[in-house]
Amino acid sequence: MNDIFLFDALREATDEEMEKDKSVFVLGEDVGHYGGSYKVTKNLHSKYGDLRVLDTPIAENSFMGMAIGASMTGLRPIVEGMNMSFLLLAFNQISNNAGMLRYTSGGNFNIPLVIRGPGGVGRQLGAEHSQRLESYFQSIPGLKIVSCSTPYNAKGLLKSAIRDDNPVIFFEHVLLYNIKQSIPSKEYFLPLNKAELVKSGWGVTILTYSRMRHCVMQAISHLKKEGYDPEVLDLISLKPIDIESIVISLKKTHRLLIVEECMKTGGIAAEIIAQINDNYFNLLDAPILRLSSEDIPTPYNGKLESNTIVNPQKVIDAVKILSVS
């Protein structure tokens, strides 16, 4: 077992896959000589050179199109978005090309492409750098969407994403790069389409992902002192949603709380609620509750920023409401 930061786990995954497969390469802004804004690609340029760790101009639509074209020829590009918000400039390439080409080519082309990078609400990064793009991409056919939350799942998921023959959007949270965890020294892979049972429990199922996993677990430490013991699932796969794991938990608890950093309108929670209400409504003993970010641009002011997102106290209050309903 190795004690490792999340950004190091991502770098290890990238390095291992590049070493084993010469078709894997990285491109993006400052990924080469600088080593990436959050050091996920640190030292990879000196090991693999300019042709496999490409520093690009500030032209997201251009280098995304180049990566998609490269994937059509059999290469396996990893595109790093310096901030995932910037990839809105490449939305056309991601939706109309990456997501659709396998289908529109009649299966003649695979698109083994990973698009990864930091997102989420950080520490006073301002509205344009605090986007949560999972809901933007969730409705696009042909994409897989994964959100890592720990060094362990970050490494196993990224290795699986790099080997997948479909385009994978791989979300990392800007405030999780420095969390540390012991992970196996032996190679391992994690499925891209499965939720993780973080904690068994009773009474209430809490669904969450990314940084909110840690917010929920902070709340759990307080709730247990008061006799509450909710079950916690980390969604990990945001497309497709692992509805089977959710249903297994719901059959046990019959109450559901969804905690996300995504905006409430059109967010990931909204899709889960729709699926549960459409197909598994009879499992519920109470209405589903969701805790989401406020539907406003994220303020730069620190106090206002913290008030737009979910905190542990909100989770505690929601669990108590659900438990007596």
Same CATH topology for 2-183 and 196-324? yes
Residues 77-132 have pLDDT tens digits of: 999 999 999 999 999 999 999 999 999 999 999 999 999 999 999 889 888 889 89
Q: What is the pLDDT of residue 2?
A: 79
pLDDT exceeds cutoff 80 at 1:
no
Q: What is the pLDDT of residue 279?
A: 97
Give the Cα separation of 168 and 165 in Å (integer). 9
Mean pLDDT (the chain) is 96
- What pTM does this model have? 0.96
Residue 325: pLDDT band with limits 50, 70, 90: low
pLDDT exceeds cutoff 80 at 25:
yes
Return phi, psi of residue 105, to 5°: -90, 5
Q: What is the pLDDT of residue 122?
A: 87
Query: At the fourth CATH level, which superfamily is domain 2-183?
Result: Thiamin diphosphate (ThDP)-binding fold, Pyr/PP domains (3.40.50.970)
Give the Cα separation of 88 and 108 in Å (integer). 27
Residues 267-302 have pLDDT tens digits of: 999 999 999 999 999 999 999 999 999 999 999 999
Give the Cα separation of 170 and 161 in Å (integer). 8
DSSP state of 210: T
Percent of the chain with pLDDT over 70: 100
Q: Where are the domains of the chain?
A: 2-183, 196-324
Strands 76-80 and 256-263: unpaired
Q: What is the pLDDT of residue 77?
A: 98
Residues 218-254 have pLDDT tens digits of: 999 999 999 999 999 999 999 999 999 999 999 999 9
Residues 196-218 have pLDDT tens digits of: 999 999 999 999 999 999 999 99
- Looking at the DSSP bridge assignments, the partners of residue 283 are none
Query: Domain 196-324 is of which CATH architecture?
Result: 3-Layer(aba) Sandwich (3.40)
Tokens 């990879």 found at: 44
Q: What is the pLDDT of residue 24?
A: 98
144: CB partners within 8 A, 6+ apart: 161, 164, 166, 167, 168, 169, 192, 193, 237, 239, 240
Catalytic residues: 60, 129
pLDDT exceeds cutoff 80 at 324:
no
- Looking at the DSSP bridge assignments, the partners of residue 194 are none
